[in-house]
Amino acid sequence: MTVLLQIRNAHKRYGDQILLEGAECTLTSDTKVGFIGRNGAGKSTLLKCILGDDELDTGEIIRHPKLKIGYLRQHDPFLPGETALEFLMRDSGQPDWKCGEVAGEFEIKGKYLEAPLQSLSGGWQTRVKLSALLLHEPNLLLLDEPTNFLDLRTQILLEHFLRSFNEACLIVSHDRAFLNATCDSTLDLSMGELTLFPGKVDAFLEYQQELNEHDQRTNASISAKRKQLQEFIDRNRARASTATRAKSKSKMLDRLEMKDVVSDQSRAIIRAPQFDPRQGPAVRCRDLSIGYGDRVIASEITLEIEHGMRAAIVGDNGQGKTTLLRTLVQSLNPLSGDVRWGYGCELGTYAQHVYTSLPESKTVLEYLEYESIPGTKSQTILDMAGAMLFRGTAVNKRISVLSGGERARLCMASLLLGKANILILDEPGNHLDVETVEALADALIDYKGTVIFTSHDRHFLKRVATAFIEVKDGGVTHYRGNYDAYLYMVQKEIDDEESRRNEAKPKTNSKSSSKPSSKSAAPSPLDQRQIRKQIGNVEKTIAKLDTQRKQLNEQMMQATEPKEAMRLHEELTQVTADLESAETKWAELQEQLESVD
């Protein structure tokens, strides 16, 4: 294990905003770290400092002499007319056969390898950039929101790549499913501090919730104690006989300090519009063809979506998901057939063509007040603005000065304050952090209207969607199965393709084929007595480890200091791994015993 990077006593601020305040972290060569934190916390700024594109105000970043960083570039580094193969050869300096071999791991072959890069979708271009990363053989990958706009198939390919990548990774993402699949540790940036947690993001969020709840209970107890002491002081400090005791109680009061609770300072509060649910079909499509001009994307579409459904549009990039959404909301005319919405349907749309055309002269607060249902309380509007990161004076910013991400969040806030009973959402989580995506999912689940949406966030899809509409190979159909079944189908297709590719690879060592297999060379089984003795020893080990696991779990739940809780979590992780290993050994011995019998 090598220390690749150390961040020591890092401070960074922009104006009054503190991004880093004494932050410290160590990244080693044997770990893949998921980097999370609220939008605007400073994650991308820290990545820029690591890359050398920005500087800390004070503190230092110590890099190993052999550190070689690979960074997934958000801009397109391609030359006009350049093919994927030409770019990979130019960027890496590797020969064509090597570039083609690596590109094949991301299914870039044939026309995708030889076509101009500008003609490929964003997802395919990202595959090419990932191939370029691998060709440079880095020992630390920095990925900033790598799953944004990637379809499910490309996400799974990226996961396979990262799991087989034997070097370190630091991945900024709001996609919990992706982080859980690829990262074994979690780095959190909150209130200027970095916390490296030795576990996956789900375990960290659960731990953080438990810690915050403990701190809240502690604060409630401290508050009650402070009130009791203050009442005693007020009653007794004026009397000479009790003044000394009152002074002593005053010192005790000064020593009682409330704990900072991160979740209270940044919790997203999102409430969906409330109205009576409707029955029957919300929208019907009959013999519908969608596309642009003479280009047909999908045809012969017959589709019906009921009121109250939360329908996810799924499929690979380039198949026509966004085209279908735009046709449904009538910002794109159908090539043939028709789209009919039911009586009383009030549509609210979240898509790039909408949030790039907001009224420039209004402030954030003015726009939200205008779009809200009449009678909405001011605090409700401010809570929604705060959930979308418009806090304090930010609600007075004019739309004309907002960034693309800020406009997207403002559009989402206005929809959730409005009176729409049909929500059409194109990638609603792309500009939101993990906690806000969770809050949005909760709000949509509580929403009594109809939701039709696209998303590449598997955790979000699985939580929110009640129906799946697949766009594939020029057609649109209701997918008959849940999201796990759809995910399994895509995963199996990728696995089968990888198996075919591996079988097609030439053998690098012909001598290896003449070696006997491990199965034929397996040692003869032990006799029954020896096996039963080993089983007894393993059972004792399992009982001991199980007791340790229970004790550590109880201690971690009662721990009040974060460092102590993290130490206990590390021990618990190791004991759990040892327990699983012992149970596997027990099962193997049982199989041996049965074969001897």
Tell me the per-residue pLDDT of 365-420, one tens digit each, with 9 for 90 and over.
Answer: 999 999 898 888 999 899 888 888 788 888 999 988 887 778 888 888 898 898 88
Whether the CB-CB separation of 85 and 114 falls below 8 Å is answered with yes
Q: Are 532 and 523 in contact (CB under 8 A)?
A: no
Strands (E), 174-327: 185-190, 193-197, 281-292, 295-306, 310-314
CA-to-CA distance for 148 and 430, rounded, in angstroms?
A: 6
Give per-residue burial for 250-272: e unless 16+ CB within 10 Å, then b: eeebeeeeeeebbbeebebebbb
pLDDT at 353: 66
pLDDT over 60 (residue 531): yes
Under the banding of pLDDT at 50, 70 and 90, the label for residue 509 is: very low
Instruction: Report which of 410, 420, 480, 484 is spatially closest to residue 447, judged by C-alpha positions.
Output: 420
Neighbour tally for 532: CB within 10 Å: 14
What is the distance between the alpha carbons of residues 202 and 178, in angstroms, rounded to a whole number? Answer: 11
How far from each other are the two terminal CA atoms of the chain, in whole angstroms?
Answer: 45
Give CA 580 to chain center in angstroms.
28
Q: Kindly state the average pLDDT of the residues 239-259.
A: 71
What does pLDDT average to over the chain?
Answer: 82
**What top-level class would CATH report for the domain 281-490?**
alpha beta
Q: C-alpha distances in angstroms, 303 versus 311, 344, 474?
A: 12, 19, 14
List, in sequence order, the alpha helices (H) in 36-167. Answer: 43-51, 84-92, 96-104, 111-114, 122-135, 152-164
Give the Cα separation of 149 and 352 in Å (integer).
13
pLDDT over 90 at 153, yes or no: no
Looking at per-residue pLDDT, the higher value among 424 and 249 belongs to 424
Please give the share of the chain, as a percent, with pLDDT higher than 90. 25
The residue with greater pLDDT, 74 or 444, is 444
- Give the per-residue pLDDT at 151: 80
Contact 108/124 with Cβ under 8 angstroms? Answer: yes
The stretch 494-507 carries a mean pLDDT of 69
Report residue 546's pLDDT band, with 50, 70 and 90 as the boundaries.
confident
Residue 557's pLDDT is what?
58
Question: What fold is seen in the domain 3-200?
Answer: Rossmann fold (3.40.50)
Q: Say how far apart CA 280 and CA 442 lie, in whole Å.
A: 24
pLDDT at 264 over 50: no
Boundaries of every domain in the chain: 3-200, 205-266, 281-490, 528-596
Handedness of CA 457, 198, 186, 157 (dihedral sign): negative
- Estimate to the nearest angstrom the gap between the alpha carbon of 113 and the chain centroid: 30
Helix/strand/coil for 525: coil
More confident residue, 284 or 234: 284
| Predicted confidence band of residue 515 (pLDDT cuts 50, 70, 90) | very low
Distance CA 453, CA 140 (A): 35
pLDDT at 121 over 80: no
